[in-house]
């Protein structure tokens, strides 16, 4: 479904935004809730905000879409990207600006390269866990 490309881009593991758009459009989900996102990606292409990728990922993982969930996952992705690229200035700014959305992730130490690597792993695990929990909840709801 192109998730590796999307997640790689969002979490700072590389990839260009154009590759993300192409991957998502090439492997579309049949979920009706995803259709507006695909139409928007067709219309705006690489001008799409990262929030659109995050919202689509949430929908495809079975989450009910709400602004708080998108904001939290966006903050986690920003933290992951800044720690992956060892961008200390951005990392500090994100932790200050997104403290409420990040929760305990904002309090992890980031003084050394090793600490920033721990922050990256924690942010990636939080991102993946959030999406996996939604998919599991959706499967459980379908089985009931």
pLDDT for position 15: 84
pLDDT of residue 3: 81
Global pTM value:
0.87
Q: Does residue 36 sit in the same domain as residue 102? A: no
Average pLDDT, the chain: 89
pLDDT digits (tens, 9 = 90+) for 120-133: 999 999 999 999 87
Number of neighbours of residue 140 by Cβ within 10 angstroms: 10
Residues 71 and 130 in one domain: yes
Backbone angles phi, psi at 73, to 5 degrees: -65, -35
Which range marks the domain in which residue 122 is found? Answer: 67-143
pLDDT of residue 57 exceeding 50, the answer is yes
């Amino acid at each position: 479904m192109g998730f590796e490309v999307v997640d790689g881009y969002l979490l700072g593991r590389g990839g260009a935004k154009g590759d993300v758009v192409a991957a998502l459009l090439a492997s579309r989900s049949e979920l009706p809730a995803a259709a507006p996102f695909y139409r928007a990606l067709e219309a705006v292409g690489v001008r799409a905000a990262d929030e659109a990728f995050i919202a689509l990922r949430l929908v495809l993982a079975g989450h009910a879409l709400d602004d708080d969930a998108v904001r939290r996952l966006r903050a986690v992705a920003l933290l992951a990207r800044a720690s992956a690229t060892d961008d200390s200035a951005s990392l500090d700014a994100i932790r200050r600006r997104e403290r409420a959305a990040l929760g305990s992730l904002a309090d992890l130490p980031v003084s050394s390269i090793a600490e920033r690597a721990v922050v990256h792993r924690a942010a990636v695990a939080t991102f993946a866990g959030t999406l996996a929990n939604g998919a599991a909840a959706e499967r459980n709801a379908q089985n009931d």
